[in-house]
A and B are shown apart, each in its own frame.
Chain A
C-alpha cells in the first residue's frame, strides 16, 4: 500500500485562485505529492498545472474530472471544454476521476456531487477558465525559455510557437517550467468561433474500454485479502432484528465473520457465494415493522385521502378559486403515479478498507462529498484521511447520490479490520431503494368562451425528498421537487394556485432521474390536452395560444411538431400525442406516434420526435444519447414500471416483477437541437419528463381513452377500452 496521501498536497486550484506551489502526480495508488528530488527523476509521469490539468513530459494531457461518469458522457465533455481552451492536441487527451477534494466541489452547490443535470451548466465557465489559465502558463513558460515577449508566442494544438522564428516547444516539454509559474487570475477565453472541440460530436473517451471489457466499475474492485460481505436488512420498513444464528452462518465454508451493523447483520466471507449462503443461514427473525398494513391499496388510499387536506400554498396568482366557481367551462381531474425503482444495471456495491490512520473507499458514487463525510463519521477518522476512489458508475439516475452502501462497507471493514466488498443482489437493490415517490394530484381548470385558460388550481400530494436530503431547502415547508413544473407553469394563466400537501410514509424516497418533473410533466401536459379537448382546440394550437412568443419551450415545441409532421396523416391505427416541459434549465418537446392493440390492450410506440433547447452544446452526440436514454427510461416507466408493496415491505424483487423496457419495445427516436439560448443548460434529465404525457395523449388520440395513472400496462389499457365501449 502506498503511503497516506496528504490532503494538503492538493494544489490550490482555480477556485481558490491562488498560485501553484506544489507538485502532484498520479500513481497507481492515487494522487501523491512529489518532493523536489522526485521531480527530477525521469519516471515522473504528470505535472499539474492546476486542479484540472496534468501534463506528462511526453505530452499526454490528463484532464481530472470532478464529476462521476454514469453514462452521460462527462468523461468526454469536461475534457473537451478544458482541452479546447488549453489548445491541446485531442489525440493526447486522457481523463481521470478526481479524488474527493474541495477543489472539485460544484461551485454553485458547494459539494462534490453529480446530479441535477449540472455537470456542464455549473462547471462550464470554471473549466474554460482552468484550460485558459494553463494555456497562459505554457505560453509564459515558452516566452521565458526563448527570452522573447509573451505576445510573440501562440498556442497551437499542444505546442507553443514563436511567431518570429517559427520555433516550437511541445506542452510536454514546457510542463515542468509552466507548473512553477503563478496561476493567472483572469486568463483570456477563446471566442466561440475559435473552438476546435466544443460543439463537435467527438467520440467518447470512455467507449474503447467500455467495449473491450476493461472498464472498472465499483463491483470490479479487487483488493488483496479482501472479504465479501452480504447484509441481511429488514424485509419490511422499520423492522428490527430479533434474533439470528451466527453459528449456523459460520458453518458455511468460507464464512469468516458475522457482524451487526446499523443497517442489519453482515456476513463476511472469502467469496460472494459464501457470503450469500452465510446470510441465508443466519435465518434472521425480524419484528413486523412499523406499518405491516402497508400495500399499494393502502398507499393509494393515503394519497387520495390527503387530496382533501389543504396544502401549503406554493404559488397564488389572482383568485383561482373565485374564477373556477364562476367559469363558463370548468374541468377537474385526479392523477396518480406509482413509486418507481432506479434499477441501475450495476447493483449497489462498495469496497472499503478502514485502517488505523486512513480509510479508502472504492465506490461508484454520485456524491464524493457524501461518501467522504459518511466514511469519516463511521470510521472515526478525519475526512482528510478518507480517500474516495470513484469508479465508473453502472448507472446512477439519482440512486448513487445516497451513501447507504458506503455506510455498510465502512462499518463492516472497521469491524473486521480488513478490506471488504459489499455487493447487493438485484433483490436487495430493488427492495432497499430510495424510490421515486408515488404521487397524486387534483387539477381544476377554467376556460373562457374563447377557449383561453382563466384559472388553474393544482393540489399535489407527494412524500418529500428534500425533507430528508436537503432540509434547508424546504422553504415554508415546501419541497421544491414536489411543485417543480407547476409553480413555473409554462403557460399563461392569470389565476394560478398551487398547493403542496406533504404525505409521509415509512417508504424511503430519493432523487430519480428528473425528480418532480417526472410527476408534474405528466399531470400538467395530460391536463393541457384535457383542456384543449374541452376548448375544442388542437393540442398544439392550444398550447401555443398560451405561450409567450419569446418562450424557449415554445420554439422547442414548434420544432418537434414540425419535424414530426403534426397534423399530417399517419398510418391507419396510429395517432400522435405531444408534450413539452422545461426543467434543469432546458426546454424539451416530444411527439409520440402510437397504436394500440384493441384486443389485448398492448400499446406500441412507433416513433418519438424530440426537440431540445439546452443552449450551446458541448457534444451534440452526447445530447442526442441523453435524449434517447431519457425517452427510453421515461417510456419504461410509462408502460411498465411500478413498485409493488406488501405487508409493510417491498414485494417487487427482480426484473421478472419489476420489468424494464426491452430492445423490441423501443421506438425510432429522432432528436433535434434548437440551440436558441445563450448558456449551456442540463441534458441528463430533461429528456425524460415529456414522454409519458406524449404517449398518454397519443393513446387518447388513438383510442379515446384518457389515462390518468401509470403504468399503461396492457391490462390497464384493456380495462379502459372496455369501459369506454
Chain B
C-alpha cells in the first residue's frame, strides 16, 4: 500500500511501487485533471508539482513521490494568478494539455517571479499543445505576472 499526500490530502493506493505516479493519480484516485499524453516525458500533459517543482508524473515511479507534497491542477487554487490569466486570455482550445501547461507555468512563476523571455521559452517548451494555443499561453504568462505584481503576491 502506497501513501501519498496530494493537494494536502492523504490518499492510499494498492499499487506496485514502480507504477508511474500519473496512473495512480488518474486511474486509482480518479483525480483526472492530470493527463496522459506520451508516457515518456516528452509532452508534459502530466505535469504536477512535487514539493513545488514541476515534474512529469508519467515517468515518475510512485515510490519516489511518497512523503512529498504533490499538487495537481485540482490543487492549484482557483484564484491562482495562472488560472485567472488562463481564463482571461481564453487560452484553452481542446484543453487537454492545459493542466500541464498551467502547472508548468505556475512552477516557473513560483521559482522566478520575473522570468526573462528565454527562461519562459525554455520552461514552456516542456509542454506540447497540438491545438496551437502557444501565443495565448505567452500572453497569459505575462498576464499572470501582472496579476502577481499588482497584488504583491507570490504564486
Contact = CB atoms under 8 A, between A and B. Distances in A.
Contacts of A345: 35, 37, 43, 45, 94, 96-97, 128-131
Contacts of B38: 426, 654-655
A395 B96 contact: yes
Contacts of A217: 35, 96
A397 B131 CA distance: 9
A346 B94 contact: yes
Contacts, number: 172
A228 B94 CA distance: 24
B57 interface: no
Interface residues of A, number: 59
Contacts of B133: 625, 628-629
B87 A426 contact: no
B87 A207 contact: yes
Contacts of A272: 23, 27
Contact of B28 (A72, A271, A393): A271
Interface in A647-664: 654-656, 660-664
Contacts of B63: none
Given A211-B86, A212-B78, A664-B121, A629 B128 contact: no
Nearest to A656: B42
B131 A629 contact: yes
A223 to B, nearest CB: 11
A393 B98 CA distance: 13
A222 B30 contact: yes
A295 interface: no
B99 interface: yes
A271 B125 CA distance: 31
Nearest to A655: B42
A71 B27 contact: no
Nearest to A632: B132
Contact of A210 (B19, B74, B98, B129): B98
A219 interface: yes
Interface in B85-103: 86-87, 90-99, 102
A203 B87 contact: yes
B90 A621 contact: yes
B95 A631 contact: no
Contacts of A661: 132, 134
B71 to A, nearest CB: 11
22 contacts: A208-B87, A211-B87, A213-B99, A220-B32, A253-B16, A271-B15, A272-B23, A345-B97, A392-B94, A395-B131, A423-B36, A426-B37, A426-B43, A625-B136, A629-B93, A633-B132, A654-B40, A660-B130, A663-B121, A663-B137, A664-B125, A668-B135
Given A73-B93, A220-B32, 8 more contacts: A211-B87, A219-B36, A395-B131, A631-B132, A656-B40, A662-B134, A664-B124, A666-B134
Interface of B: 15-16, 19-20, 23, 26-28, 30, 32-40, 42-43, 45, 72-74, 78, 83, 86-87, 90-99, 102, 121-122, 124-125, 127-138
